Amino acid sequence: MTRQTMRFTTARHDLEQAAMLLRDGETVAFPTETVYGLGANALDARAVDKIFKAKGRPSDNPLIVHIAHRDDVHQLVTHIPELARLCMDHFWPGPLTLILPCTDAVPANVTAGLDTVGVRMPDHDTALQVIALAGVPVAAPSANRSGRPSPTTAEHVLEDLSGHIAGVVDGGAAGVGVESTVLDVTGAVPMILRPGGVTREMLEHLLGPVAVDPALGNETIAPKSPGVKYTHYAPRGTMYLVEGEQALVEMQRLVQTADQKVGVLTTDEHKDLFPTAAHVISLGSQDDLATVAARLYDAIRSFDHHEIEVIYAETFPEDGIGLAVMNRLRKAAGHRVILAE
């Protein structure tokens, strides 16, 4: 069913209208410091269902619940381990989602039937205002059609969801550009289920050893975290990652011999190496992975606008936020890798 999607500014009156829609069981997209989220009242199962319908999202993919005040976590979780309290002290508000044991107040469609829930407090004034004005915790996955690149602007949201959601708050471009880190703190050793804006190095500096889920990206296992099971972030064209010592040489050869409309996802240092490509886009400098992360989804979407059929992408070191960048690139490429040794 299509409907008119209202577009709100960040003016107080507009935010109050957006919050009223959330209270009334509607879906509203809003900016966070990571990407735009598609929100609904996390305590209303029927409202949450509208998220799944708008996105075409599989029902076994759990949602993250966003709160405006730290004390709001108590209506969602049964207890808070000491490791979680440390993380809240240091990283909230911020791009860190904590997996915690949930109360019966959280509907099963939020948790995908699990006994845990992901909770975070975003570091974005507009997001915090909308959630606080709504007066309810807000379940909010990325505001895109399932499988598409996550949205970092209101325009991206409308490309995918116009006519399928009640409203979108236009707060400009998101900052971090990749989704929050998801950290499971229910076990003896904290485990990253999805890499994101808070890096493993940052967590280990605070907590000591932090594991990375070995099942990350394994599509045969029911996910404890959003964004780890299904192909995500994908352009309409077929994307390949090109890795290895001869990666740039191989990318040049592939571009020169392509019989399709070809695009290249690369860096400032290498963007001039592909003069015959139909569309070359740089994510920024190899030495600035924060900028690479912030530009990633907009860059992937740009290939669709140019009707690119095949895309060859440069890869990045998996240090710091590079772990999140490569996680998203692998999923965007459907794990298609060309090894050039």
Q: Which residues are annotated as a binding site for ATP?
A: 57, 61, 116, 150, 194, 233
**3-state SS, one letter per residue, for the chain:** CCCCCEEECCCHHHHHHHHHHHHCCCCEEEECCCCEEEEEECCCHHHHHHHHHHHCCCCCCCCEEECCCHHHHHHCECCCCHHHHHHHHHHCCCCEEEEEEECCCCCHHHHCCCCEEEEECCCCHHHHHHHHHHCCCEECCECCCCCCCCCCCHHHHHHHHCCCCCEEECCCCCCCCCCCEEEECCCCCCEEEECCCCCHHHHHHHHCCCEECCCCCCCCCCCCCCCCCCCCCCCCCEEEEEECCCHHHHHHHHHHHCCCCEEEEECCCCHHHCCCCCEEEECCCCCCHHHHHHHHHHHHHHHHHCCCCEEEECCCCCCCCHHHHHHHHHHHCCCCEEECC
Annotated binding site: 34, 57, 61, 66, 116, 120, 140, 142, 150, 180, 194, 233
Tell me how far apart the alpha carbons of residues 261 and 305 are, in angstroms, rounded to a whole number: 12
C-alpha distances in angstroms, 87 versus 198, 204, 227?
Answer: 10, 11, 21
**Which residues carry a binding-site annotation for L-threonine?**
34, 66, 120, 140, 142, 180
